[in-house]
Amino acid sequence: MVYPTLVNNLFWIEKNKVLATKNITPGLTFYKEEVYKEKDTEYRIWNPYKSKLAAAFLKGLELDVFKDIRKILYLGTSTGTTISHISDIISDDGVIYGVEVAPRVMLEFINRVAKYRKNIVPLFFDARTPELYMDIVEIPIDAVYCDVAQPDETKIAADNADLYLKKNGKIFVAIKARSIDATKPPPVIYENEARYLRERGYNVLKIIDLEPYEKDHAMIYAIKIK
For residue range 87-107, list pLDDT tens digits in order: 999 999 999 999 999 999 999
41-89 residue pLDDT tens: 999 999 999 999 999 999 999 999 999 999 999 999 999 999 999 999 9
Mean pLDDT, rounded, for 190-209? 97
Q: Is residue 9 in some structural domain?
A: no
Q: Is residue 35 in some structural domain?
A: no
Query: Which residues form the domain of 58?
Result: 47-224
Q: Is residue 208 in some structural domain?
A: yes
Q: CATH number of the domain that 191 lies in?
A: 3.40.50.150
- Angle 153-164/186-199 helices, nearest 10 degrees? 30
Residue 15 has pLDDT above 90, yes or no: no
- How high is the pLDDT of residue 56? 98
The answer for 8, left when phi > 0, alpha when psi is -120 to 50, beta otherwise, is beta
Work out the angle at residue 172's Cα, subtended by the Cα atoms of residues 140 and 162, and round it to the nearest 5 degrees: 40
Rounded distance between C-alpha atoms, residue 14 and residue 138, angstroms:
38
Please give the tally of structural domains in the chain.
Answer: 1
Q: Is residue 77 in some structural domain?
A: yes
- How high is the pLDDT of residue 178? 87
Task: Give the pLDDT band (50/70/90) at residue 16.
Answer: low
Q: Is residue 69 in some structural domain?
A: yes
Q: Is residue 30 in some structural domain?
A: no
Q: Is residue 7 in some structural domain?
A: no
Q: Which residues pair with 106 in a beta bridge?
A: none
The average confidence (pLDDT) of the chain is 96
136-149 residue pLDDT tens: 999 999 999 999 98
Backbone angles phi, psi at 213, to 5 degrees: -75, -35
Greater confidence (179 vs 169) lies with 169
Q: Is residue 31 in some structural domain?
A: no
The structure's pTM equals: 0.96
Number of residues in the chain = 226
State the DSSP H helix or E strand holding residue 191, giving kind and residue range, or none if neither: helix 186-199
